[in-house]
Amino acid sequence: MTFRQFAYRNVVRNSRVYGAFFMASFFSVAVFFIYSMLMFHPDIESGILGEVSMIGMIGAEIVLVLFTLFFLYYSMSAFLEARSREFGILLHLGMDKRQMNKLVFLETMIIGAASIIVGIIFGFSFSKFFFMIVREILHLEELPLYVSWEPFVLTIGVFTSAFVVITFTSVYLRRERKLLDLMKGSNYLHSVISYSKIRAIYGIALIISTYVLVLLVSYTSMIGLTLLIPFSATFGTYYFFSDSVPFFLDLARGKRKYHWQRYRLLSLAEQTNIMQENVKVFFVVTMVSTMAFLSVGVLATMSSYTTQYERLNPLGLIYKGDIDNPYESEHINLLMEQLEEKGLSYHLTRFVVIKQTSSFTHNEVEVFRESDMNTLLSSFGYPMLKLSAGEAVFIPYSEESLKKLKNTVVHTVLEENEIPLTIDSVYPEIVFPGSIVSVNSIVISDEDFAKLKKPIADADIVQPSYKLFTFDIPQWMETKEIGKEIDHLAVDEYFIKKENRSPFYFENAGLNYSYILATYSLFTLVGVLVATVFLLAAGSFIYFKLHTSLEHEKRKFDVLKRMGLTDIELKKLVNRHLFPQFFLPWGVAMMHSAFAFFMVQSILKDIANISIVKEVFFAFGFFVIIQVVYFYLIRWRYISHIRT
C-alpha cells in the first residue's frame, strides 16, 4: 500500500466521517457554478442587464468566493479537529509531521476533486431550472441553456486553488498539541467561566444604545449617526455573547431554588459551556444572518418599489419647459416622430401652468386649468372634473398626500389677481409623479384661469409660468429609446455648460423603469445567492461545531442514561442543548435587522414613499420557517448520533 493509496482508502472507507465536509464543499461548488453559468450567459453579456450589472455580478461572485473560502476553512478546521484522535494514533505510530501534512493535503484534494466534479454535474443539471427562475425575475422572453467552457474552467480553477489555500492554511495555523492530548480525542476545553461584569453591562448598553440611535436617526433624520450604528452593533453583539450571556447564566445558577430543578441543573451548566466555547461562532453567525436578513429585506423593498412604480408614474413621457424654451417645438416634434416610428400609440396633452401666491399660506401655488386637466384625465379614463368659478381641487403628489388632503378644506385668495377660491377636495388618483408637480398644486375652472393676468409677485421666481407636455402611452415600458437625444442634451446643459438651470426638463418613465429594473434584478440575483450561501453556512457552522464535540457528548449521555435518564428526558435535554445554539444568534440577528428595517423604512418614506412592512414580515416569516426546519433536521441527526 503506497502512501497515496492509504490516503485514498482513508477517504473512501470513512465516507461517513468525510461526508459532512464533502457536502459542504459540494454545495459551495454547485452554487458557484450555477452563478458562473449565469454570469457567462451569452444573452446576459449582450446586455440584458446593462453594464452596471456585469460589474455587480463580478463583485457578487468575488463576495461569494471570499465567503466560501471562509466557510470551507471553518469546515476544514472543524473536520480536522474531529479527527485529532486518528492523527494522534498515526503520529504515535511514527508518522512525521511532514507526512501528516501530506496526508491531509492528499485527502483534501481527493474530497475537493470529488466535490468539484459532483458539484459541477449537479450545478449543470440544475442550471436550466435556475435560468427559469432568473427569467421570471428579470421578465425576460427566454434564457436558454447553453454550453461553454468558461464557467467550467472558472469553477475548477477557483475551487482547486481554494482547496490548496485552505489545506495549507488550516494545516499550518493549527495549534501545536501534544501527542498525548491528541490521543485523548477531540479537544474539549476545560476552561473556567470567565467574564467581566463591566463588559457584560457594556454589551447590553451598547446594543440598547444602538437601538436608541436607530430610533433617533429615523425620527430626526440625522443620517450622520448612521455611520456609528454598524460599529456599536458589532461591538455590542460581541460583548453580549462573550460576557452578558455568561453573566446572566451565572446569575441564574446562583439561585438554587430555580437552578436545582430537573434538567435545569444540566441545561444551564451546558449553556454556560456552550457559550464559552462558541462566542466567536455565535458572533459570526449573528452578523452573517443579519446581513442575510437585510439583503432579503432590501430585495423585498425593491420588489415592492417596482410594483408600485406604475401607480406612482402613470405618465410615459413628460416634457416640462419654460414659456420661452427655444427647443420646444423641435423636441416635441422629435418625440412625436420617434413614437410614431416605434408604432406606439400616445395621447399628448399640453398644459400651461401659472404660479400664484396663496393668501392662505403665503406660499407659491401652481395652478392648472380644468380643461387641460380633463384632456389628460379622459386619456387615462379617469373621472372628469367639473368645476365652477371659485372652486378648486388639489392635485395629489403621493399616496400620503392623497390621504392627507382628502379632508382638508381651504379658503384662499390668489393674491396677484384677487381670485377667491374654496379648495374642498383632492383628485382621487395620482396623475403626475411627485417629481413634476409641486406640493401646492391645484386645478381651477377655465373662467378663473382666464382671469390670471398678473404674474406672481415674488421676485425670486424666474419663471412665473411653464409649459407641460404629457404623453400618456399605454405601452410605457417600451419607451426606453425615445427621446434619448433630449436626455443627453439635458445632461450636457447641466454638466458641460454648467448652466444653473436648463430651459426644459424631460422625464422618461420607461427609461427610469429600465434602470430601476436592472438594479433590482441585480440585487435580486446577488441577494438570493448570498442569502442562500449565508443561510447554509450559518446552519453548517453549528452542525460542524456539534460534530466536533460529538464523542464527548455521547459519553455524557451514556452516563446520564445509566443514571436513569428516560428517553423523553433525553430528547428534552437535547432540545435545550440545541435550541439556544440555533435561536439565540438568529434571534439577536432578527432583532438587529428589525431595527435596521425600522430605520430603512423611515428613510424610504422620505425618499420613495413606499412601505415595506408587509414585505419584511414575509421575509422574516420565511426565515423563521427555514430556521425551524434546520433545527429539526439537525436535532434528528444529533439524536440519532447520540443514541448509537
Partner 1 sequence: MPILQIKDITKVYEGKVTHRALNQLSFDVEDGEFIAVMGRSGSGKTTLLNIISTIDEPTSGEIILDGMNPHKLNATELAYFRRRQLGFIFQDFNLLHMLTVEENIILPLTLDQQPLEVMEERLKSIVEKLDLTSFLHKRPNEISGGQAQRTAIGRALIHNPSLILADEPTGNLDSNSARDVLELLTKVSNERKTTIVMVTHDPIAASYCDRVLFIKDGEFFNEIYKDDRRQLFFQRILNVLSLLGGGQVGDLSTIRLP
Contact between 261 and partner 1 per CB under 8 A: yes
From 67, 70, 168, 188, residue interacting with partner 1 (rule: CB under 8 A): 188
Number of residues that bind partner 1 (CB under 8 A): 29
Among 137, 183, 266, 591, binds partner 1 (CB under 8 A): 266
Cβ proximity to partner 1: between 266 and 402 the closer is 266
At 419, is the secondary structure helix, strand, or coil? Answer: strand
Half-sphere exposure of 637 (CA within 13 A, CB side): 15
Q: Which stretch binds partner 1 (CB under 8 A): 200-208, 362-370, 539-547, 566-574?
A: 566-574
Return the residue of 15, 329, 407, 566 that touches partner 1, per CB under 8 A. 566
Identify any residues that bridge with 317 across adjacent strands, giving them in sequence order.
471, 508
> Strand pairing partners for 319?
469, 506
Nearer to partner 1 (CB atom), residue 397 or residue 638: 638
* Least distance CB 562 / partner 1 (angstroms): 6
Closest distance of CB 194 from partner 1, Å? 13
Selected from 562, 606, 607, 640, the binder of partner 1 by CB under 8 A is 562
Concatenated DSSP letters of 436-471? TS-SSEEEE-HHHHHT--SPP--TT-S-SEEEEEEE
CB of 128 to partner 1, least distance (A): 47
Q: Which residue stretch of 109-117, 161-169, 210-218, 554-562 sits at the interface with partner 1 (rule: CB under 8 A)?
A: 554-562
Q: Identify which range of 83-91, 268-276, 347-355, 432-440 contacts partner 1 by CB under 8 A.
A: 268-276
Tracing cell 425600522 back to the chain, one arrives at 598
Check if the beta carbon of residue 630 is closer than 8 Å to that of residue 579: no
- Nearest in space to 85 (alpha carbons), one of 556, 541, 552, 557: 552
Among 174, 184, 264, 347, binds partner 1 (CB under 8 A): 264
Find the shortest distance in angstroms from Cβ 548 to partner 1. Answer: 16
Any contact of residue 260 with partner 1 (CB under 8 A)? yes
Nearest alpha-carbon partner for 439 in 493, 372, 394, 373: 394
> Does the protein bind partner 1 through residue 250 (CB under 8 A)?
no
Give the CA count within 13 Å in the CB-facing half-sphere of 45: 9
| AA letter at 360 | F
Q: What are phi and psi of 341, to 5 degrees?
A: -55, -45
Closest separation between CB of residue 579 and partner 1, Å? 17
Least distance in angstroms from the C-beta of 564 to partner 1:
3
To partner 1, the closest distance from the beta carbon of 559 in angstroms equals 5
343: left (phi over 0), alpha (psi -120 to 50) or beta: left
C-beta pairs of 452-457 under 8 Å, 24+ apart in sequence = 452/354, 452/356, 452/367, 452/414, 452/416, 452/417, 452/419, 453/417, 454/416, 454/417, 455/354, 455/355, 455/416, 456/354, 456/355, 456/356, 456/357, 456/364, 456/416, 457/357, 457/415, 457/416
State in angstroms the smallest separation of the CB of 263 from partner 1.
8
Q: How far apart are CA 601 and CA 611, in angstroms?
A: 7
Q: How many whole angstroms from its chain centre is CA 159?
A: 26
Please report how close the Cβ of residue 271 comes to partner 1 at its closest, in angstroms.
Answer: 9
Strand (E) or helix (H) holding 356: strand 347-357
Q: Which is nearer to partner 1, 429 or 569 (CB)?
A: 569
Which is nearest to 525 in space by CA: 135, 148, 67?
135
For residues 357 and 375, the answer to whether their CB atoms sit within 8 Å is no
Q: Which is nearer to partner 1, 102 or 556 (CB)?
A: 556
Binding map of partner 1 across residues 60-99, x = CB under 8 A, - = no contact = ----------------------------------------
Q: Which of residues 190-209 bind partner 1 (CB under 8 A)?
A: 190, 192
Stretch that binds partner 1, among 70-78, 154-162, 497-505, 555-563 (CB under 8 A): 555-563
Q: Closer to partner 1 at the Cβ: 173 or 192?
A: 192
Q: Is 272 in the site for partner 1 (CB under 8 A)?
A: yes
Binding mask 148-187 for partner 1 (x = CB under 8 A): ----------------------------------------
Opening angle at CA 264, ends 260 and 269, nearest 5: 95
Tell me whether residue 343 or residue 564 sits nearer to partner 1 (CB atom). 564
The residue within the footprint of partner 1, chosen from 199, 556, 637, 641 (CB under 8 A), is 556
3-state secondary structure of 63: helix
Stretch that binds partner 1, among 29-37, 85-93, 329-337, 557-565 (CB under 8 A): 557-565
Of the candidates 436, 396, 444, 387, the one whose C-alpha atom is nearest the C-alpha of residue 417 is 444
Please state, in angstroms and rounded to a whole number, the distance separating the CA atoms of residues 331 and 183: 84
How large is the angle between the packed helices 328-342 and 484-495, nearest 10 degrees? 140
Quick one: which of 389, 259, 251, 395 has its CA closest to 315? 395
565 contacts partner 1 (rule: CB under 8 A): yes
CB of 230 vs partner 1, minimal distance in Å: 35
> In a 10 Å sphere around its CB, with 0-12 CB exposed, 13-18 middle and 19+ buried, how is residue 355 labelled?
buried
21 vs 557, which CB is nearer to partner 1?
Answer: 557
Applying CB under 8 A, which part among 188-196, 334-342, 388-396, 435-443 lies near partner 1?
188-196
Q: How far is the CB of 253 from partner 1 (least distance, A)?
A: 9
* Nearer Cβ to partner 1 (170/272): 272
- State yes or no: residue 257 binds partner 1 (CB under 8 A): yes
269 binds partner 1 (CB under 8 A): yes
Nearest distance, CB of residue 567 and partner 1, angstroms: 6
Give whichever of 175 and 562 is closer to partner 1, judged by the CB atom.
Answer: 562
Can you tell me which residue has the cell 377655465? 446
CB of 111 to partner 1, least distance (A): 29
568 binds partner 1 (CB under 8 A): yes
Judged on CB neighbours under 10 Å (0-12, 13-18, 19+), 512 is middle
E strands, 501-574, in order: 504-508
Contact residues: partner 1, CB under 8 A: 188, 190, 192, 256-257, 260-266, 269-270, 272-273, 555-556, 559-569
